[in-house]
Amino acid sequence: MRAEVIDEPELEFGGGSGHIDPRFGLIAHGPADLGAPNAPTAIRVGLVGPADQTEGLQRWLERCREPIPAKDERYPHLFPAFPGCDVDCGLYTTLVFSSRNTRTIPDRALHALASRSGVEQITEAVDLYAEEIVALAEQNRVDLILVARPDQVKDTLPRRRGGRRRRERDDKPPSTGFENFHDLLKARTLTVRQPLQLFRRHTWDDTNQSKSLQDEASRAWNVHIAMYYKAGGVPWRLRRLNTDLMTCYVGVSFYRSNDGTSLDTAVAHVFNERGDGVIVRGGAAHISKEDRQPHLNSSDAYTLLQTALDVYRREHQTLPARVVIHKSSRFIAEEVEGFEEAADDRDLAGLDLVWITDSEDVNLFRPGDAPPLRGTFLTLSQDEHALYTRGSIEFYSTYPGMYVPRPIGIRPARLGRSPRDLATELLALSKMNWNQARLDGRYPITLTTADKVKRVLRFCGPDQNVATRYAQYM
């Protein structure tokens, strides 16, 4: 076994400047598209929800125009102050509110929800909200719709099977038979042009806090970065040397419809260095007798990559020179054959096929109590490697997690670059999550987004038209 620590990759911000941490990069240099003609300098927002919540949410967001102090002076890099968000600070944009762009959910309808239970409660709540969202979107006066969730509705309700409730892993999407307000509402509104940003009351209401929630400055960072991206902005992007090949990253995942009637289907998240994410639906998968996991046959793997490349060319007016495909399950021979044939037909200069595992059942220990450093890269064998994407961070002067970190596994099925280069790339891709402002995401954005997308698509029929922009799903 061999171990080394890879330096934290920098991200690119305004003026081409770099920084390892998204928040400090934004403070020092502004967003990556600062000054660009299409950068969102004013975001017209719509509000949908109960009257008291829409009013409270708007007040909090308007207060966020001004700085919010840091939580803990002992760790100024881990908990930085929020600089405010206006045309001259933060993300250099402003939120524009209007009373005519607010749709109120009637109290009478909300009280009726309280008397419902289980799946009926969630579906009726989604019906109420979707009607107002579609009506607001059709007026075409807003760029983004903010949704205040109903207090009466639980987040996720599993359907009972055999009188027992199945335990779900925190890092995996709910299995078939779950109803989820967020996912179902997103699925119902995928044809709406404007992305949604959902809020729970405790995001903005300081009188309704629990000890497990983030500090106010961190919440402001996360919310404003997500809104900026959904409005078409580019908060930061991957840094690319002039000598690097133009690369397309593809995350492949599988899902089953929520009613369990359709076969597992592939979904790909096509992602470039700029941060643009496009969703591609693939063909039906089959369950392998060998590992009981869904896989593609050669023809469907070929078609999926060809479709992904067509989408990439349509969005960027050019084909990439290199493609990296990430999966959370192993690559079987048929998949490798199909992906390689598609790459050869498009004359790609590079193709990397990488299986990212949840854990390699290996742990590293340092002297003392601190966990290994983020970026610690282990070579276990020629085809097995491990990378700590979570761990102690020198820039933060601490380990910011609550539990003992575990490395992710890197098992290449086809290599165009060295395993170490792939690990460096994975570290950078773990920082491209617009839903969090810290630098230590566990998984690359390719797989993080593919998981989010399949949570929504499981509520959509196979022939239903769905959005291709990732912002519609997050």
Any idea what the CATH number is for the domain that residue 466 is in? 3.30.420.10
- Among 156-165, 198-207, 433-442, the least confident range: 156-165
For the residues 278-299, what does the mean pLDDT come to? 84
For the residues 77-97, what does the mean pLDDT come to? 95
d(CA 143, CA 140) in angstroms, rounded, equals 8
Residue at 223 is within a domain:
yes
User: What's residue 172's pLDDT?
Assistant: 41
Contact partners, residue 318, CB within 8 Å, separation at least 6? 246
Residues 349/245, Cβ–Cβ less than 8 Å: yes
- Among 143-152, 162-171, 398-407, the least confident range: 162-171
Q: Are residues 116 and 211 in the same domain?
A: yes
Residue at 235 is within a domain:
no
Q: What is the residue-wise DSSP string for 279-344?
A: EEEEEE-EE-TTTS-EE--HHHHHHHHHHHHHHHHHHHSS--SEEEEEESSPPPHHHHHHHHHHHH
User: What's residue 174's pLDDT?
Assistant: 40
Residue 163 predicted with pLDDT over 70 = no
Q: Are residues 251 and 363 in the same domain?
A: yes
Instruction: Tell which wins on pLDDT, 365 or 34.
Output: 34
For the residues 83-108, what does the mean pLDDT come to? 95
For the residues 107-121, what does the mean pLDDT come to? 85
Q: Are residues 110 and 246 in the same domain?
A: no
Smallest CA-to-CA distance from 34 within 237, 318, 244 is with 237
User: What's residue 260's pLDDT?
Assistant: 65
Residue at 17 is within a domain:
no
- Among 28-42, 224-238, 244-258, 397-411, the least confident range: 244-258
Q: Are residues 120 and 221 in the same domain?
A: yes
C-beta atoms surrounding 252 within 10 Å: 28
Residue at 2 is within a domain:
no
Render pLDDT for 369-380 as a digit per residue (tens, 0 to 9): 889 999 999 999
Q: Are residues 224 and 251 in the same domain?
A: no
User: What's residue 303's pLDDT?
Assistant: 93
Degrees, nearest 5: CA angle 16-22-24: 85
User: What's residue 165's pLDDT?
Assistant: 36
Q: Are residues 248 and 397 in the same domain?
A: yes
User: What's residue 236's pLDDT?
Assistant: 96
Confidence of residue 206 (pLDDT cuts 50, 70, 90): confident
User: What's residue 314's pLDDT?
Assistant: 86
Q: How many helices (H) and strands (E) does the chain have?
A: 11, 21
Residue at 108 is within a domain:
yes
Query: Chain-wide mean pLDDT for the chain?
Result: 88
Render pLDDT for 229-266 as a digit per residue (tens, 0 to 9): 999 999 999 988 776 778 999 999 888 877 666 666 77
Domain edge (last residue) among 205, 230, 255: 230
Residue at 21 is within a domain:
no
Q: Are residues 296 and 219 in the same domain?
A: no
Smallest CA-to-CA distance from 266 within 254, 278, 249 is with 254
- Count how many domains the chain has: 2
d(CA 68, CA 94) in angstroms, rounded, equals 16
Residue 159 predicted with pLDDT over 60 = no
Residue 176 predicted with pLDDT over 60 = no
* Residues across the chain: 474
User: What's residue 264's pLDDT?
Assistant: 66
Q: Are residues 460 and 373 in the same domain?
A: yes
pTM: predicted TM-score of the whole model, two decimal places? 0.91
User: What's residue 156's pLDDT?
Assistant: 64
User: What's residue 168's pLDDT?
Assistant: 35
Q: Are residues 108 and 57 in the same domain?
A: yes
Q: Are residues 221 and 244 in the same domain?
A: no
Question: Would you say the C-alpha torsion 301, 261, 289, 294 has a positive or negative sign?
Answer: positive
Render pLDDT for 217-228 as a digit per residue (tens, 0 to 9): 999 999 999 999
The string over 163-196, giving b where at least 16 C-beta atoms fall within 10 Å of a residue's C-beta and e elsewhere, is eeeeeeeeeebbeebbbbbbbbbbbbbbebebbb
Render pLDDT for 189-201 as a digit per residue (tens, 0 to 9): 999 999 999 999 9
- Among 30-34, 158-162, 310-314, the least confident range: 158-162
Instruction: Tell which wins on pLDDT, 113 or 384.
Output: 384
Q: Are residues 433 and 362 in the same domain?
A: yes
Residue at 48 is within a domain:
yes
Residue at 33 is within a domain:
no
Structural domain boundaries enclosing 208:
40-230
User: What's residue 80's pLDDT?
Assistant: 95
Residues 385/377, Cβ–Cβ less than 8 Å: yes
DSSP code of residue 260: S
Domain edge (last residue) among 202, 230, 258: 230
- Among 49-63, 126-140, 189-203, 447-461, the least confident range: 447-461
For the residues 85-114, what does the mean pLDDT come to? 93
d(CA 198, CA 216) in angstroms, rounded, equals 17
User: What's residue 94's pLDDT?
Assistant: 96
Instruction: Show the beta-strand stretches assigned E in 168-218.
Output: 178-180, 196-199
The string over 145-154, giving b where at least 16 C-beta atoms fall within 10 Å of a residue's C-beta and e elsewhere, is bbbbbbeebe
C-beta atoms surrounding 280 within 10 Å: 21
User: What's residue 175's pLDDT?
Assistant: 41
Domain edge (last residue) among 230, 257, 273: 230
